[in-house]
Structure 1
């Protein structure tokens, strides 16, 4: 039947081969010229791009501030900073700051604007609120920028993801901007390298949070010194700079090269007992104050006691608020000196009590579809321990979670990638040569093809962790990618058809393979939606790309194989190609999308990760894994930084990891 359908097309193609080749050449020339003309489209005005970025930054951090309970309307915990007495600043930096007590964003913004150079380092001991201040300062400055319509856009970046030994600061910031704000990758709308041009033109004010977290699992001191050196080199390009760091680590890092030029350095002080009492009184209702009164009395009467020293930082005050939020709890237990003889014991108790306080244990009959406290604690503990073992920062990228799994994860990835590619190559070559050679030779050629293609893919799939696809599907047209993708598919199909049944069949098969692939590649484009990246967007987009490309490859390859191979073999080949196109980054992606990443698609790896670890109680089932991370973020166990999550504080991660061991 298939032969009757395509026979007229074959006869026509065989009689007009010259015209077909000439027409194809003209088509290629037209598309190349169109690509060249579109590449010359003027980029959007950088001020307009910065305005769009400011709107996205404001929305992102306004939402995050609410989730972190940094409520601007209810009132913030009052804090004090002072010019540091450490030898970490020069004369110009020292003269631009003074002692300030602040309890809101306006005072914070005003204090920053009084620094003539726009360069500010906020240092202090762990838990003193450096990250919260960086968030609030980012939010205040971006709202000021939106109101005025001009000036640099403050962008908060987590320095824990930066390796100064491998990347210059500006290079890393450009990469972070393109990952957190995917719309800046749209070269058709914003021109090439929009993040780099925003940085070079002074339209980005970087807020670098957590310099002390550089190399926290390894050679931290040397990495931080290199980080300071990179910052010093970039200062002349930047309109200003805000950086946070623990005080001792900052002093150590600037020791060799000297202070950052004209940079004001302020040190956060411990909270006064009155500030702690006022804050906890404000966030608790009248009915709850009686539970807290013994603690308040201890803070007033024993300012050097274990509880007062433990509750001297915003981190611990926030933990106490959350741990004792339920009325069935009694914060007065902190005064039991037998259980809590010193401040360290109080702090450990609060850190370890946070997860059970926000994820409650549920009766068996209520656990279906809910988050049981013991499960949540076990999953978060495994996650914290895995992050601590790694030496690449403290960010939780869902596509990198499989790196925490055991050897079984890598084995499954290798088998999945290797077997799919081997089956596809083996069926394809065996089927083609089955028609022209003896069966034994066809089987041998198919076996060699399977081995040659399957083993390298298995090797790469075991170790590679490709990031999620950056594509979405819309009305855009990308001619170069369309040409490359369709040419590869059409070439392979034409060769197979030509070998088996002459040039007429070759041209028909090539058209069947090439045209649909061209449409899919041309329809796919970088995500240009003006929004900040988040984990769910990346996962949903990665799954969609897998389905669309799997269908495109499978249907075209299956139809072409139906014209060339026995029906059973054609169906099997189409299914294998569909699975390869949807579940793997392989040769089509390397040649057509200019991507050197080869391996199992990110969302598929995450599914395998959940399937392997859920029966062991170390992770939720794969369909609940990302919803759990989102819920932990909503309950303020995790914080979101662009497309990644992090634990609320490094102390919390360390406490959970320690409990795992």
Structure 2
């Protein structure tokens, strides 16, 4: 039997309840670290949702009611119960929220998190909103996907806990996370049935939102779940929500007189009601909506509101021209992804261009630092003119070698589908560890260092053979066979030196990684700033570390190989200079190749503004779009306010 329609104002309520939340509390272990981290996560989610409410204008000018009716039995409850109260009274601990596009499903999840956290007991799970658009149930189970998203969107989640697992895995496996799964309809086409099967088989509690049509098309129902359906906004709701200026009176009168008419059907969803208030609170009177010739049907009326929202949002913004803002937002909309993560924006560039960008960036930076270090050294040895020519020539040959080596490593990584994500760690002698594989870090340092050393050995040998007037040290009677032997010996020796130094440095860095505090904010801008600082600190630490390890590994290789393959000489000052350059090259190559901030810098920060797709102050533009209510934030990602707005901007 269908229950009477109820409403949830989008604001805090003061309803109390006496029911005890089950939700598997007895199964959660009493781990002090995990308990405290769950408390911090709850505080973070509450702050985030409160800011989302403010930025979406859910209190302006008054709370817009989100009404619903039950599709299944909901258990014991009171008429004034909030959505959190309803959920706590469910026997099955699973609730499906259904509604038409723009009916307020996401608004309701934000309110649910606020209400749940406000009355949360110490043993209760923490509600966390997850965007289901990125879940591929054919690739990852629900639990593994939740762990992956926690690691991606929240700081401190990769900290090791007793038992060797990450904090994210511990929170999910022990039932400390209450997944609020938003956007079932946004899962890739063809995977809905598989997703429902995974949700039904899972023992986790959850709250799920979906468009009504996509949910009903699925071939199987969700077991052990209750369901509610969001209903439309009434004329009374609109009267309380719209500005009390008298200009809206003709529109409200039309809706009351024709409850099944064009305007009533368009403005029955919170999305269209909020767009109408924004678009027609400026130059154009709300009475324009009554023009049946201009807006003959619902589709044209909705297109008008969607098309007028961005100009209305930027109407009083002097920093950005509305037409430019619409064009830039249209480019973001055409990316075809719900989550707009700043570290993934460069991923829309073709793989060839990304690899080429890495090669060029590393080559230019290597040449710059090579010239800065070697010009004074060579000038002091052989005079200014010869020293400058020698340094320029060596930098021109060695820089592309370094760029190609880093480009090849980056190409191999990206071909395997790896995405460089923001670092959530810092280097500390003491503190919890991330548990990142030492073997993988050492292997990366060994392989990358060996490749760089081979390239350096080939370059130095050829320079001394073909430009002996600058570099010298090669007898006149040298043969081609001698050159080949010299090249092989130099390549092996330098390859071993660079490999030992690289493996030792990256292995030590992995051993000293400590996760960031979970209380740190995880919005896109703070994550970008945090990652920039972390990346620059890591690069700065790499320079002396690589230099020192290079000198030590040189001594080790010379001691082991001297007399075995050739006569090797120990030249401390020369090796120190090469080590300094190697430290700079390794640090800069690591910065642009293996850090999210470096990838953002060379692939998105400059490429997009140069091609006119985004402004130079890209992050400032995204933040302003968020403050103006065009974008929203989900964890560390931006998203468009609604999929319908995104689709409209993509089409136009």
Normalised to the residue count of structure 2, the TM-score between the two structures is 0.72
Aligned match for 1:48, one of 36, 40, 51: 36
Aligned match for 1:618, one of 613, 619, 623: 613
CA distance in 1, matches of 2:544, 2:106: 51
Q: As a proportion of its length, which structure holds more helix?
A: 1
Q: Answer yes or no: is 1:299 the counterpart of 2:272.
A: no
Counterparts in 2 of 1:376 and 1:143: CA distance versus 1, 3 Å: same
Q: Answer yes or no: is 1:132 the counterpart of 2:107.
A: yes
CA distance in 2, matches of 1:74, 1:449: 62
Specify the alignment match of 1:339 in structure 2.
294
For the aligned residue pairs, the C-alpha RMSD in angstroms reads 4.3
Runs (5+) with no aligned partner, structure 2: 1-29, 372-389, 457-485, 491-496, 552-570
Counterparts in 2 of 1:190 and 1:138: CA distance versus 1, 3 Å: farther
Specify the alignment match of 1:551 in structure 2.
540
**For 1:277, what is the secondary structure of its paired residue?**
helix
- Matches of residues 444-593 of structure 1 in structure 2 within 5 Å? 453=405, 456-457=408-409, 459-460=411-412, 465-473=419-427, 476=430, 524-557=513-546, 563-565=572-574, 572-585=581-594
Counterparts in 2 of 1:110 and 1:361: CA distance versus 1, 3 Å: closer
CA distance in 2, matches of 1:190, 1:330: 64
Q: Answer yes or no: is 1:198 the counterpart of 2:171.
A: yes
User: How much has 1:55 moved relative to structure 2?
Assistant: 1.9
Specify the alignment match of 1:434 in structure 2.
none
Asked if structure 2 preserves the Cα contact closer than 8 Å seen for 1:542 and 1:603, the reply is no
Aligned match for 1:374, one of 304, 323, 338: 323
Specify the alignment match of 1:77 in structure 2.
64
Counterparts in 2 of 1:171 and 1:512: CA distance versus 1, 3 Å: closer
Specify the alignment match of 1:410 in structure 2.
354
Asked if structure 2 preserves the Cα contact closer than 8 Å seen for 1:183 and 1:529, the reply is yes
Asked if structure 2 preserves the Cα contact closer than 8 Å seen for 1:206 and 1:242, the reply is yes
CA distance in 2, matches of 1:78, 1:229: 33
**For 1:538, what is the secondary structure of its paired residue?**
helix
User: How much has 1:650 moved relative to structure 2?
Assistant: 0.5
Superposed CA offset, 1:425-478 (max 9, x none) = x99xxxxxxxxxxx9xx99x9899769835623634876641122223556356
Specify the alignment match of 2:270 in structure 1.
314
Asked if structure 2 preserves the Cα contact closer than 8 Å seen for 1:323 and 1:353, the reply is yes
CA distance in 2, matches of 1:320, 1:101: 30
User: How much has 1:396 moved relative to structure 2?
Assistant: 0.4
User: How much has 1:245 moved relative to structure 2?
Assistant: 0.5
CA distance in 2, matches of 1:303, 1:643: 41
Aligned match for 2:157, one of 184, 190, 194: 184
Aligned match for 1:636, one of 626, 629, 636: 629
- Matches of residues 241-256 of structure 1 in structure 2 within 5 Å? 241-253=206-218, 255=219
Counterparts in 2 of 1:302 and 1:458: CA distance versus 1, 3 Å: same
Specify the alignment match of 1:627 in structure 2.
620
Q: Answer yes or no: is 1:172 the counterpart of 2:161.
A: no
Q: Which moved more, 1:119-128 or 1:269-278?
A: 269-278
Specify the alignment match of 2:221 in structure 1.
259
CA distance in 2, matches of 1:479, 1:136: 33
Specify the alignment match of 1:355 in structure 2.
310
Specify the alignment match of 1:400 in structure 2.
344
CA distance in 2, matches of 1:142, 1:409: 46
Specify the alignment match of 1:605 in structure 2.
600
Superposed CA offset, 1:518-572 (max 9, x none) = 8866664222242452212321232223322322333455576793538986765
Specify the alignment match of 2:73 in structure 1.
95
**For 2:101, what is the secondary structure of its paired residue?**
coil
Asked if structure 1 preserves the Cα contact closer than 8 Å seen for 2:357 and 2:602, the reply is no
CA distance in 2, matches of 1:607, 1:636: 29
Counterparts in 2 of 1:522 and 1:569: CA distance versus 1, 3 Å: closer
Asked if structure 2 preserves the Cα contact closer than 8 Å seen for 1:323 and 1:357, the reply is yes
Aligned match for 2:52, one of 44, 64, 67: 64
Counterparts in 2 of 1:167 and 1:511: CA distance versus 1, 3 Å: closer
Runs (5+) with no aligned partner, structure 1: 1-41, 85-93, 428-438, 502-507, 586-599
CA distance in 2, matches of 1:481, 1:639: 32
**For 2:606, what is the secondary structure of its paired residue?**
helix
Counterparts in 2 of 1:181 and 1:556: CA distance versus 1, 3 Å: closer
User: How much has 1:575 moved relative to structure 2?
Assistant: 3.9
User: How much has 1:131 moved relative to structure 2?
Assistant: 1.0
CA distance in 1, matches of 2:402, 2:215: 56
Asked if structure 1 preserves the Cα contact closer than 8 Å seen for 2:361 and 2:403, the reply is no
Q: Answer yes or no: is 1:383 the counterpart of 2:361.
A: no
How many pairs were matched up?
537
Counterparts in 2 of 1:99 and 1:166: CA distance versus 1, 3 Å: same
Normalised to the residue count of structure 1, the TM-score between the two structures is 0.71
Aligned match for 1:233, one of 176, 191, 201: 201
Specify the alignment match of 2:246 in structure 1.
290
Aligned match for 1:112, one of 81, 87, 92: 87
Q: Answer yes or no: is 1:274 the counterpart of 2:236.
A: yes
CA distance in 1, matches of 2:274, 2:531: 36
Counterparts in 2 of 1:524 and 1:276: CA distance versus 1, 3 Å: same
**For 1:565, what is the secondary structure of its paired residue?**
helix
Counterparts in 2 of 1:276 and 1:520: CA distance versus 1, 3 Å: same
Asked if structure 1 preserves the Cα contact closer than 8 Å seen for 2:155 and 2:516, the reply is yes
Counterparts in 2 of 1:168 and 1:515: CA distance versus 1, 3 Å: closer
